[in-house]
Structure 1
Amino acid sequence: SAYYITLIDKRYSKEEVLNLLKNKWKIPNDIIQKGYELQLNSDEFPIKYKGKLDLDE
């Protein structure tokens, strides 16, 4: 999920990415949140998405 989160607002909208992760791949919010934190804190991801995910909506 971390890789796709980095693509928000770069290649895909936040809605498209979250729809893929939550509805198609059935990834729970807590795992998506961990992916978000991973891409923010890891040097493995040169591109970062720093916006809010709004997972509770």
Structure 2
Amino acid sequence: MAKYSKKAGEKVGEAIHEMKAGKLKTGTGKKVTSKKQAIAIGLSEAKEEGAKVPEKKS
């Protein structure tokens, strides 16, 4: 299992909280309804801030 930094975990938690409140939006402005999408947005934001986030497996 991948290891994430504490900051990355906090960002993901914030994103999920915003999604449940209906305030999380995608880049195009649409409302996020998927938990997976909220996690991806949280990890992306954490990576932008320099948190330890593993590379995407494709």
- TM-score in same-fold range (> 0.5): no
Structure exhibiting the larger radius of gyration computed from Cα positions: 2
